[in-house]
């Protein structure tokens, strides 16, 4: 009797890609706040573009190898929709970051200047910016690099410092991002800001834009209330003028009636006097 042996297919083990690398989010509170500032500003700038803006998110760049990941402080991927992700897998999304920003410090100097720079070049990150808010080692505290056709980073030449642009003041050399169409520079407080190339206006972060919108709404509401008040005053003045005109017309009518009554009385007196004289003659 033949025995049929069924061979069960081997189960493919699902690869787990962690959502955290176990490292602290940022060097200090300041570094974390500035990282969010950069992310939220870029999100506000690209809100109407097809672009994914994120930061402090694990970017996996080698399928099947969870150890191959990097977490830029802020990054932009053009042509990829903006939605919430737990991790970013380049092979699933179809492309890697186009731009990366690192809020750097002395303790992350080697990682940011050597390890990440080499990896970002290999991944094809076209523009790479380093921002050292406490000036631990970068002089000036903002540096930018652009990827060449040979996959080598070349420094982005800085513009002269101290120029006023739009609604902000540049206190350090400014760098131009061709990808973003923005000028990156530090303001007088040493905060990294982004300025539009066409107008020079500073790009407001998401929270600043919402606060500005609320402020503008309050201004509009106040202006509307003032206009309504002026309209109400005008209507009240118009009503008062109408009442004065009505009173004047009424007074005029009364005066006309008095004059008519006086004239009628005078005519009656004259008629009576005429009749008296006529009776006297006869």
Report the pLDDT value the prediction gives residue 6, as an integer from 0 to 100: 54
Give the E-state strand segments of the chain in sequence order: 51-54, 59-60, 69-70, 74-78, 88-89, 99-103, 127-131, 142-147, 153-155, 164-165, 168-169, 175-177, 182-186, 192-196
Report the pLDDT value the prediction gives residue 18, as an integer from 0 to 100: 85
Q: Average of pLDDT values for 185-214?
A: 88
Lowest mean pLDDT among 8-12, 44-48, 89-93, 137-141: 8-12
Give yes or no for residue 1 having a pLDDT over 50. Answer: no
Cα torsion angle, 222, 225, 229, 230, sign: positive
pLDDT band at residue 162 under the 50/70/90 scheme: low
Q: Is 199 helix (H, G, I), strand (E, B) or coil?
A: coil
Report the pLDDT value the prediction gives residue 168, as an integer from 0 to 100: 52
Give yes or no for residue 3 having a pLDDT over 80. Answer: no
Domain ranges within the chain, ordered by starting residue: 29-204, 205-282
Give yes or no for residue 250 having a pLDDT over 60. Answer: yes
**Does the domain formed by 29-204 have CATH 3.90.1570?**
yes
Report the pLDDT value the prediction gives residue 19, as an integer from 0 to 100: 83
Report the pLDDT value the prediction gives residue 57, as an integer from 0 to 100: 96
Q: Average of pLDDT values for 223-243?
A: 89
């Amino acid at each position: 009797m033949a025995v049929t042996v069924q061979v069960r297919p081997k189960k493919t083990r699902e690869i787990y890609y962690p959502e955290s690398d176990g490292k602290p989010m940022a060097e200090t509170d300041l570094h974390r706040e500035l990282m969010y500032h950069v992310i939220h500003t870029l999100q506000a700038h690209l809100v109407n573009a097809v672009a994914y803006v994120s930061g402090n998110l694990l970017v996996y760049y080698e399928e099947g190898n969870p150890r191959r990941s990097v977490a830029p402080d802020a990054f932009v991927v053009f042509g990829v929709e903006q939605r919430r992700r737990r991790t970013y897998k380049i092979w699933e999304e179809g492309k890697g970051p186009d731009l990366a920003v690192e809020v750097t410090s002395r303790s992350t100097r080697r990682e940011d200047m050597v390890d990440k720079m080499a990896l970002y070049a290999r991944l094809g990150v076209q523009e790479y910016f380093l921002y050292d808010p406490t000036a631990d080692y970068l002089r000036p505290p903002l540096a930018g690099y652009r990827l060449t056709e040979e996959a080598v980073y070349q420094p982005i030449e800085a513009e002269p410092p101290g120029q006023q642009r739009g609604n902000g003041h540049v206190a350090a050399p400014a760098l131009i991002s061709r990808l973003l169409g923005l000028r990156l520079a530090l303001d007088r407080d040493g905060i990294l800001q982004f300025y539009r190339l066409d107008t020079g206006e500073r790009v407001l972060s998401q929270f600043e834009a919402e606060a500005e919108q609320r402020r503008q709404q309050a201004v509009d509401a106040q202006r509307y209330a003032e206009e309504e008040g002026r309209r109400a005053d005008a209507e009240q003045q118009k009503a008062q003028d109408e009442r004065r005109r009505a009173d004047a017309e009424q007074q005029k009518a009364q005066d006309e009636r008095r004059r008519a009554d006086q004239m009628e009385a005078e005519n009656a007196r004259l008629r009576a006097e005429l009749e008296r004289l006529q009776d006297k003659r006869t």
